[in-house]
Structure 1
């Protein structure tokens, strides 16, 4: 049965407020994102490299992405504008949306705000990296206190329920409290010594913003640990000196991680990509003692799959607004 989201000539809008309170099962969210990555290799899906624009004065950062998720037959167009990304002008703002289209009928699905969608798909990807590279993990450290950091621990716990010790490092009191509250009643320790905390963590998640005051170094990490970078908070030397490097997509990594390049402008080779790891075509590490660096670059194919999933939940709940548009 073909689902209708809006009458011809109308567009269904799903702002942030209309996405709050949806009945989201994090384990199911991880499954949806995993299936989107698998479909990139199993045929039908596509995810071209994002287009990025950023001024030399760091006034703003903008990028756009397009992708097709074969599993849900959804095409996604995504646009992001981040003003004052380094928070150096006291003028920070973030605006983004995804436009979803049903590729079986050609009919628009929705125009969605991504304040909720983005952190969900990024944290699900982080959980997939962590579960693949360190399935026996008992401790996790989150570096950062913003929206991405607040989404990290609950998704990680959904993927690795055996985690026993949870820690967070940051400088903003309200953000630290929000990360603690995100863990659903589990104890989250606020740490003041980043080096010491890193030395005891099986999983380190770099989720800080551009204004990160401290960064994890390779020498601080214990054998067998995995560092997942989806923002900032992990130094480039972890990438360069890791024993094994994995990424969501090598080309995407090269397009988006200028800050990780060495003095010669180069990046080290990537040993495996997440879709191949999930399909069992490549290992997530070579040896148990390998320090693994994982680069979590946002991929629009996961926005397409997860956006469609959330749109269906929102429609069932009677959310959103239909407006005359075309």
Structure 2
């Protein structure tokens, strides 16, 4: 297939592009606006005969229409992300996550093209730390930030366009990703790069907040599985049974990097910080036979640390401005 990937210069989008090139015969076009989170260096080394980059905005209906006309399928990663940024300035999240998704859906409707929409488990809100339940495809939406609420809105648009107009779409909601090419504003790469620079990692509040971690390569393999074999109109939750609280993750990073496990600083907690996310991926595994390669979180974390050690030139240009912004927030 000829696959268009929106947001393919971002973290999980670029990982998906690399995965497609390495594990399939598909050709790939990336459409990316190249905001601060998009990085062309994340797409270096891809073969010219199977890869093309187009700089542009998913809200640009004419450009989107032209690209949809010459592709067989679209995987929609493009989104404004990161909760802290949405609390600081919500408007870009409305533009990209709502209007941008609408623009893609209308193009998919005109061209009768297969669309897969990437979303997050944050649309479901959070769980209590001692709750035995996990999110499923039928969990009611309960978003708590401008980021998660606009992602919830985009999910609902996709479902409405499937039902009202017969758009050939699937959705997936994934737990927290980690791995290569993740911006240093995010939790895991921030701590890794701090240690590499001789700085102490930073832990929000008491560090009890739990996330369900999945390596970006496993997310990519799951998305390709859904794209190729998923039932149209269905939602699939993607997770790798990687629940860890933030304190555990920081201590694992420190031990893996040869530092004392308590060599970190506590900083101000994030406003409205969700307590716990947890994904039940049974539907994806039972219906489509998908399994994660990095079922061992510690092994995936070691792989990620090795990547950041080897790719200082990729992350260093982002680091100073990111830490200055956190310092201004007391974090």
Q: Do Structure 1 and Structure 2 share a fold, with TM-score over 0.5?
A: no
Between Structure 1 and Structure 2, which shows a larger proportion of strand residues?
Answer: 1
Q: Return the structure number with greater relative CO, CA threshold 8 A, min gap 6.
A: 1
Task: Kindly indicate which of the two structures has a greater share of residues assigned to helix.
Answer: 2
TM-score normalised by structure 1 residue count: 0.34
